[in-house]
């Protein structure tokens, strides 16, 4: 994992998260790569944990579609926020990443 990322990385991550449409998700690694630091998925997780609470962080999941234990209220709260957008959550707190993954500009 890189110890540093390019200046503006946080801003690029937050701008991209703001674009994720309801009912769709992106992964930490996908966000990191699209924002210029493909090995910075954990840094994206830190940004999510401490970032702007007005952004739709519930739409960010791990590469297998797993929900975040560190989400405010844990995986159950993460699941509830996604369910409110019509996303089905498995008993193991996962989403169907193959059908819900969103790419900006039809990436």
Query: What is the Cα–Cα distance from 13 to 60, expressed in whole angstroms?
Result: 11
Answer positive or negative: Cα dihedral of 98, 30, 67, 81: negative
Segments forming the whole domain that contains residue 34: 9-99
80 domain residue, yes or no: yes
Query: For tokens 């234990």, what's the residue?
Result: 69
Q: Is residue 3 part of a domain?
A: no
Is residue 33 situated within a structural domain?
yes
Tell me the pLDDT tens digit for each residue of 10-68.
999 999 999 999 999 999 999 999 999 999 999 999 999 998 999 999 999 999 999 99
Q: Is residue 1 one of the residues assigned to a domain?
A: no
40-49: per-residue pLDDT in tens?
Answer: 999 999 999 9
Position 106 scores a pLDDT of 57
pLDDT value of position 3: 52
Structurally, the chain folds into a number of domains equal to 1
Helix axes 9-19, 41-50, angle to 10 degrees: 70
Determine, yes or no, domain membership for 107. no
Q: For residue 2, is it within any domain? A: no
Q: Is residue 82 part of a domain?
A: yes
Q: For residues 107 and 103, give the distance between their C-alpha atoms in angstroms, rounded to a whole number.
A: 5
Q: Is 64 inside a domain boundary? A: yes
pTM of the model: 0.92
Q: Check the CA dihedral 70-71-74-75 and report its sign.
A: negative
């Amino acid at each position: 994992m890189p110890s540093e990322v390019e200046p503006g990385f946080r801003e690029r991550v937050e701008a991209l998260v703001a674009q994720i449409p309801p009912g769709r998700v992106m992964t930490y690694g996908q966000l990191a790569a699209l924002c210029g630091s493909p090995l910075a998925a954990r840094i994206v997780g830190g940004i999510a944990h401490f970032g702007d609470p007005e952004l739709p962080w519930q739409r960010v999941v791990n590469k297998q579609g797993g929900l975040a234990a560190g989400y405010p209220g844990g995986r159950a709260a993460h699941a509830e926020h996604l369910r409110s957008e019509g996303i089905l959550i498995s008993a193991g707190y996962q989403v169907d990443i193959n059908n819900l993954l969103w790419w900006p500009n039809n990436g």
